[in-house]
């Protein structure tokens, strides 16, 4: 099988990395694991060995889907042909918790992460991404990479870098380093309306070089902005930028602007 460049395919071949991902993925009580883009089945073959887990592998590449049908015949594997963005997780059964494991191409990573972020039934993700993206996801405030993606994910998930992954672990070798990150959903994020909150965070980082005041006054009144920022940040409220605001402060701000 040849990798499809248009789909950003790079097949994981390093056994040590595979074992780390499997360990991180299967160490929870969830009975269902969704694998996004199983590819040649390197992770899938290990996942199905755990017979008390139901593995749902969603593959967009028709040739790889046919290959996997012939290659892996375990009863606890359900292969799905299609785009994960179109996959309806409610088909798994109502209110059923599940985990996600994936080796994601850069061009579509964020869309896939946000799809599962907005589903409360997804309580953990173990995903391989370009290292730069993992650096952003796990960043802390006042750092250059701290931004909209950082805040959006850390508002709902505890983040932990599992391991860095060099290009030699793939075939064909990508031109960039990768990393594996574990996202564990918080029991209570304090946010009821995720869609509105994510829109709010997007507005806070609309222009990263601008202050919160300048970004927020584009959609809120001057009085709302000044009063709410003053309540959280005190006399220096006019100078505050998104990269210096903590996750808890963003949540408090959202609550104030939602009133």
Same domain, 44 and 99: yes
> 185, 205, 220: which is the final residue of a domain?
185
pLDDT tens for 98-115 read: 999 998 887 789 999 999
Question: Domain total for the chain?
Answer: 2
Alpha helices by DSSP H, 27-130? 42-47, 62-71, 109-117
Q: What is the CATH number of the domain that holds 176?
A: 3.40.50.150
Same domain, 176 and 101: yes
Task: Say if strands 178-185 and 157-165 run parallel, antiparallel, or are unpaired.
Answer: antiparallel
Same domain, 119 and 244: no
Q: What angle do CA 217, 144, 21 make, to 5 degrees?
A: 115
Same domain, 99 and 163: yes
Same domain, 65 and 27: yes
Indicate yes or no: pTM above 0.85.
yes
Q: What is the mean pLDDT of residues 73-99?
A: 88
Same domain, 198 and 123: no
Same domain, 152 and 251: no
pLDDT tens for 7-33 read: 556 789 899 999 999 999 887 788 899
Rounded Cα distance, 55 and 65, in Å: 15
Residues 6 or more apart whose CB falls under 8 angstroms from that of 168 comprise 14
Range of the domain at 124: 5-185
Q: What is the pLDDT of residue 3?
A: 53
């Amino acid at each position: 099988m040849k990798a499809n460049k248009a789909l950003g395919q790079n097949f994981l071949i390093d056994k040590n990395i595979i074992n780390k991902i499997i360990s991180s993925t299967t160490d929870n009580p969830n009975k269902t694991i969704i694998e996004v883009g199983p590819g040649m089945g390197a992770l899938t073959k290990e996942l199905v060995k755990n017979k008390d887990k139901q593995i749902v592998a969603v593959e967009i590449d028709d040739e790889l889907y046919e290959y996997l049908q012939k290659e892996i015949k375990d009863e606890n594997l359900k292969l799905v042909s299609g785009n994960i963005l179109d996959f309806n997780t409610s088909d798994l059964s109502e209110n059923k918790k599940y985990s996600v494991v994936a080796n994601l191409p850069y061009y579509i990573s964020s869309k896939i992460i946000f799809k599962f972020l907005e589903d409360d039934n997804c309580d953990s993700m173990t995903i391989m991404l370009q290292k730069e993206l993992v650096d952003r996801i796990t960043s802390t405030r006042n750092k250059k990479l701290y931004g909209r993606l950082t805040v959006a994910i850390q508002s709902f998930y505890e983040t932990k870098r599992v391991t860095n992954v060099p290009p030699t672990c793939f075939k064909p070798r990508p031109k960039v380093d990768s990393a594996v990150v574990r996202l564990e959903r918080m029991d209570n994020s304090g946010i009821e309306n995720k869609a509105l909150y994510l829109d709010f965070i997007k507005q806070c980082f609309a222009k990263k070089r601008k202050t919160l005041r300048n970004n927020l006054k584009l959609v809120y009144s001057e009085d709302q902005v000044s009063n709410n920022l003053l309540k959280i940040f005190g006399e220096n409220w006019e100078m505050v930028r998104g990269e210096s605001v903590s996750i808890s402060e963003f949540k408090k701000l959202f609550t104030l602007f939602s009133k």
